[in-house]
Amino acid sequence: MTSSEEMPHEGTEAAGPPADELALVARAQTGDTAAFDELVTRYRQRAFSMIYHMVRNEQDAWDLAQDGFLKAWKNIGRFRGQSSFYTWLYRILMNVGIDWLRKKQIASGTEFDDQIGLHNIAPGAMTVPRSELEPAGRISDQEIRTRIDAAIERLSPEHRAVIILREIDGLEYSEIAEQMECSIGTVMSRLFYARKKLQAMLKDVYENI
């Protein structure tokens, strides 16, 4: 599988790395912190968003996004230009997010029961019965966010990653597989279970907005 030369598409940037990006990276590789600062400025929002989607907390996302950039700075000499800088950075950020989630899981003694929790959900089974509208009416935007955060919190780091990369970042299966260093089949299988689990928890939300 070859590395994509395009940045993960969010619909706002032109295909292919900007012409001066390689120059900035080359300068940063010689220790030019101003050049690296420019790269941070370009990608900070996307980096923050990516981590936020994983950890669902602004302060943690702030810290972890910084950790990701610092890791990129320390290893920038190893960037070979075989992919875009953002693709390379994205992978670092994802690992930072997944590591943090794993450590948090071990520290809290909780388990992500992606496998065990799906005993009752056979692959072809319907998830939950269709719910009726509450007489009180619409759920507020803040409540929706809270519900989404709580639902994603229940997913394992790998399942969170595939849902975010697919549903929010809009990556293709092959791009997700490359980012997560796994096969396309694994990506699709994880998506299946992640969707099932989220549907079970959020069906009443998306049916009532």
Residues 10 to 39 in contact with another protein, rule: CB under 8 A: 26, 28-31, 33, 36-37
The SS3 call for residue 120 is: coil
Measured distance CA(202)–CA(194) in Å, rounded: 12
State the burial class of residue 49 (Cβ atoms within 10 Å of its Cβ: 0-12, 13-18, 19+).
middle
* Interface mask toward another protein for 65-104; x: CB under 8 A: xx--xxxxxxxxxxx--------x--xx--xx-xx--xx-
Using the minimum distance from each CB to another protein, give the nearer residue, 20 or 131. 131
Using the minimum distance from each CB to another protein, give the nearer residue, 20 or 113. 113
Could you please report the per-residue DSSP string of 60-117? HHHHHHHHHHHHHHHTGGG--SSS-HHHHHHHHHHHHHHHHHHHHHHHHT----TTGG
Q: Which of 4, 49, 154, 204 binds another protein (CB under 8 A)?
A: 49
- Does residue 121 belong to the site contacting another protein (CB under 8 A)? no
Angstrom CA distances, 160 to 86, 120, 129, 168, stand at 20, 20, 24, 11
- Does residue 41 belong to the site contacting another protein (CB under 8 A)? yes
**Alpha carbon distance, N-terminus to C-terminus of the chain:** 40
What tokens were used for 83? Answer: 């992919």
- Does residue 2 belong to the site contacting another protein (CB under 8 A)? no
| Nearest distance, CB of residue 162 and another protein, angstroms | 10
- Does residue 6 belong to the site contacting another protein (CB under 8 A)? no
Q: Which of 7, 40, 155, 165 binds another protein (CB under 8 A)?
A: 40
Tell me phi and psi for residue 42, to 5 degrees. Answer: -65, -35
Tell which positions 138-197 bind another protein, by CB under 8 A. 141, 144-145, 148, 152, 158, 163, 167-168, 173, 181-183, 185-186, 188-189, 191-193, 195
| Nearest distance, CB of residue 133 and another protein, angstroms | 15
